[in-house]
Amino acid sequence: MARNKLITIAAAGLCLTTFTQCFTNKKNEGQRLYEANCQSCHMEDGSGLRGVIPPIAGADYLEKHRDELPCLIRHGMEGPVTVNGKEYNQAMPGVDLREDQITNLLNYIQTNFGNNNQRYTMPEVEQLLEACPPSRK
């Protein structure tokens, strides 16, 4: 009986450790996704590349085009875009990410780099992705 109790406690501890690791890994996923997929163009501080790549730091575009951002992440875009009153015309490639990853990435961008914008929910991102065209190019 005592042995069964010990095994149960050990199994519970293992499960708790495993679950904790899963949630810990998700904690900074938005930042990791930004670093892996966006930082090389939009820069570490979100300032963009002067005259070529628009900034995301303090970018009015994030609020004005909120409903388009999940599609923009997934499919990219070509053509001119105006951010903070300046026009940019550099193609942006799409990124093949799951809905939860897009949500985490967008929430990181919306709440960092001097941005204090409304966060996305998973259902919202899923709905916006369903409505977007297959390609924005």
CATH number of the domain to which 42 belongs: 1.10.760.10
- pLDDT computed for residue 20 by the predictor: 43
Q: What is the pTM of this model?
A: 0.79
Is the residue at 106 inside a domain?
A: yes
Q: What are phi and psi of 93, to 5 degrees?
A: -75, 150
Residues written for the chain:
137
Statement: residue 134 has pLDDT above 80:
no
Is the residue at 15 inside a domain?
A: no
Statement: residue 11 has pLDDT above 80:
no
- pLDDT computed for residue 132 by the predictor: 86
Is the residue at 57 inside a domain?
A: yes
- pLDDT computed for residue 7 by the predictor: 65
Residue 12 host element (H or E): helix 2-27
Look up the domain containing 35 and give its range: 29-131
- pLDDT computed for residue 32 by the predictor: 98
Is the residue at 66 inside a domain?
A: yes
- pLDDT computed for residue 22 by the predictor: 46
- pLDDT computed for residue 1 by the predictor: 62
Confidence of residue 124 (pLDDT cuts 50, 70, 90): very high
Count of the separate structural domains present in the chain: 1
> Contact 102/28 with Cβ under 8 angstroms?
no
Render pLDDT for 60-112 as a digit per residue (tens, 0 to 9). 999 999 999 999 999 999 999 999 999 999 999 999 999 999 999 999 999 99
Is the residue at 97 inside a domain?
A: yes
Is the residue at 3 inside a domain?
A: no
User: What are the residues facing 53 on neighbouring strands?
Assistant: 49
Is the residue at 38 inside a domain?
A: yes
Least confident of 14-23, 47-56, 96-105, 122-131: 14-23
- pLDDT computed for residue 71 by the predictor: 97
CA distance 75 to 102: 12
